[in-house]
Amino acid sequence: MTELAKYKMYINGEWVESSDGGYFTSYNPATGEPWCQVAKGTSEDVERAVQVAHQAFENSEWTSMTYSQRGKLLHRLGDLIAENYEKLADYETLDNGKLIREMRGQLQYIPEFYYYYAGLANKIHGDTLPIDKKDMFVFTSREPLGVVAAITPWNSPLYLTTLKLAPALAAGNTIVIKPSEVTSASLLELMPLIEQAGFPPGVVNVVTGFGDPVGNALTSHPLIRKIAFTGGTESARHVVHNSAKHFSQLSLELGGKSPNIVFEDANIESASMGIIAGIFGASGQSCVAGSRAFLHKSIYNEVVDRIVTRTSNIIIGDPMSPTTEMGPLATESQLKRMEHYVELGKGQGANLIYGGKRPAHLKKGWYFEPTIFEHTNAEIRIAQEEIFGPVLTIIPFENEEEVISLANNTNYGLAAGIWTNNLARAHQISKAVRAGIVWVNTYRSISPIASIGGSHWSGYGREGGVESIHEYTQNKVVWMNTSTEPMADPFIMR
């Protein structure tokens, strides 16, 4: 048997084993077989990483760099990722089973995020305030927070890391990253590029391992000033609880149950493709998956026919093949989760119109068919809970008022799709639907210039865009008395 690749952790610019020398196995979802071993971090490793990140923030060449210099490092990192995108994409596909086509596309686009925050780095400035007090000069500055803890899931490891890493560094913080235990390799492969770009040791650190103990130790550490978490609601509850110990600032990018709404005046062909893109792109393992399709009654049958016809032609198989359209799910437990939800859907009376099982022709790997249910009741569990896989529930509606109420009847508030050629309607529904991102006549578009984020069970805070810089800085207000007069009365507010 060939020996598996072995990954150590990256702390203070060095490759280190975990404190107890332990490793865990990472699997290739396309085969279900082990492909590498990763250092299994401990609380001691977290302690070590946070301490060096703290040192790097307190007294190092990093802190003495100008914002422009930091921006140049970020720009160089973007260039290096662009040069190495194929290799990095290969690791992501090996680890999470997503299509190589998609991961290459994502990796080719990720440099744009580093360029964007490289450009923003020397535009993080305060203001002078037109203060309403005599003889006072008042200005503000935005200061970095300190050590940031970044925790990511497995579905788009480097993209979701980038949303945290780029603004955190642009703002002058240092960082400890804990990738998902399912997908550690691509982040570790990024570390030599961090070094090559010129980031000093200790500025970027990676501790690999599980939510417990690594995630728990990191999010409850007294030196962590900000936690940027992307993941599921259950883990997020632990993170919120842990963050309260030392009042670390927190941003949460969680799940969704996003509505994809098709009106009778939409371009039906585009809308049908948009529904498929929304739920079967990335095998539905996307926080913004459009897992609830609301179709106007007058075009219901036509759209369902189109969706089912295209879905029945989806090529499922090896994610490394350029012609594959749907790869496997990332883990075996994801596969079991799909089977569980299919049974739940059937049990609650939903009509299974396509899929619902493992594809017969794929004997190995964690594949699941694209699955389509229909029901008139939007309150059944498959239409309310985040499934995080290729399971769509289609629901008919009669008018705008009804569909707004149905779309908003969920604990989540992350994304929404609207398909219409009526401009006024597009504006009205965009406003009425509760979501942090609304796509009109498109779906799953992203850019460094536009933020993402949600509300309620989808979390809080924003990633991407200029807003993100505010998540990694704090405002300081400086009051300067310009009067030379002695202070008269010490017992009144000035």
Judged by CB under 6 A, the residue of 8, 72, 238, 470 near ligand NAD is: 238
Which one of 132-140, 197-205, 227-235, 442-450 is the stretch in contact with ligand NAD (CB under 6 A)?
227-235
Nearer to ligand NAD, 79 or 467 (CB): 467
Subset of residues 317 to 346 that bind ligand NAD, contact rule: CB under 6 A:
none
251 binds ligand NAD (CB under 6 A): no
> Which run of H or E residues covers position 160?
helix 157-170
Query: Please, are residues 451 and 464 in contact by the beta-carbon 8 Å criterion?
Result: yes
Token pair belonging to 298: 């007058």
In whole angstroms, the minimum distance from the beta carbon of 475 to ligand NAD comes to: 25
Instruction: Indicate which residue of 287, 369, 374, 386 is catalytic.
Output: 287
Q: Exactly one of 239, 338, 429, 435 binds ligand NAD (CB under 6 A); which one? A: 239
Answer for which of 71, 97, 144, 153 binds ligand NAD (CB under 6 A) is 153
Among 41, 78, 167, 215, binds ligand NAD (CB under 6 A): 215
CB 7 within 8 A of CB 184: yes
Number of Cβ atoms within 10 Å of the Cβ of 23: 17
Nearest-approach distance from CB 336 to ligand NAD, in angstroms:
13
Minimum separation from the CB atom of position 8 to ligand NAD (A)? 18
197: CB partners within 8 A, 6+ apart:
73, 74, 76, 77, 80
Among 92, 102, 181, 253, the active-site one is: 253
Other CB atoms within a 10 A radius of the CB of residue 320 amount to: 17
- Taking CB atoms within 8 Å and a gap of at least 24, the contacts of 103-107 are 106/156, 106/158, 106/159, 107/81, 107/158
Q: Of 174 and 183, which CB lies nearer to ligand NAD in the complex structure?
A: 183
Of the candidates 196, 216, 298, the residue with the CA atom closest to the CA atom of residue 41: 216
Q: Name residues contacting ligand NAD, limited to 271-300 (CB under 6 A).
A: 287
Distance from chain centroid for Cα 305: 33
Report d(CA 178, CA 168) in Å as an integer.
Answer: 15
Nearest CB to ligand NAD, comparing residues 219 and 420 = 219
For this structure, is 36 an active site residue?
no
**Residue of 28, 96, 173, 216 interacting with ligand NAD (CB under 6 A):** 216
User: Token pair for residue 328?
Assistant: 């496997």
The minimum distance between CB 250 and ligand NAD, in angstroms, equals 11
Q: How far apart are CA 236 and CA 325, in angstroms?
A: 31
| Residues 67 to 86 in contact with ligand NAD, rule: CB under 6 A | none
129: which strand partners? 138
Residue numbers 367-396 binding ligand NAD by CB under 6 A? 386, 388
Q: Which of 41, 111, 144, 255 binds ligand NAD (CB under 6 A)?
A: 255
Give min distance, CB of 280 to ligand NAD, in A. 16
Catalytic, 287? Answer yes
Number of residues that bind ligand NAD (CB under 6 A): 29
For 139, list phi and psi in degrees, rounded to 5. Answer: -130, 160
Residue 435 is a binding residue for ligand NAD (CB under 6 A): no
Q: 């964690």: which residue's tokens?
A: 366
* Chosen residue from 41, 146, 167, 231 binding ligand NAD by CB under 6 A: 231
Query: Rounded CA gap, 69 and 448, in Å?
Result: 21
Q: What is the dihedral of CA 293, 295, 300, 304, to 10 degrees?
A: -20
Nearer to ligand NAD, 420 or 451 (CB): 451
**454 C-beta neighbours (distance < 10 Å), count:** 26
Residue 210 near ligand NAD by CB under 6 A = yes
Cα 368 from chain centre: 23
**Given candidates 20, 44, 58, 212, which one binds ligand NAD under the rule CB under 6 A?**
212
Cis (ω within 30 of 0) for the bond into 370? no
Q: Binding residues for ligand NAD, per CB under 6 A?
A: 151-155, 160, 178, 180-181, 210-212, 215-216, 219, 230-232, 235, 238-239, 253-255, 287, 386, 388, 414, 452
Active site residues per annotation = 253, 287
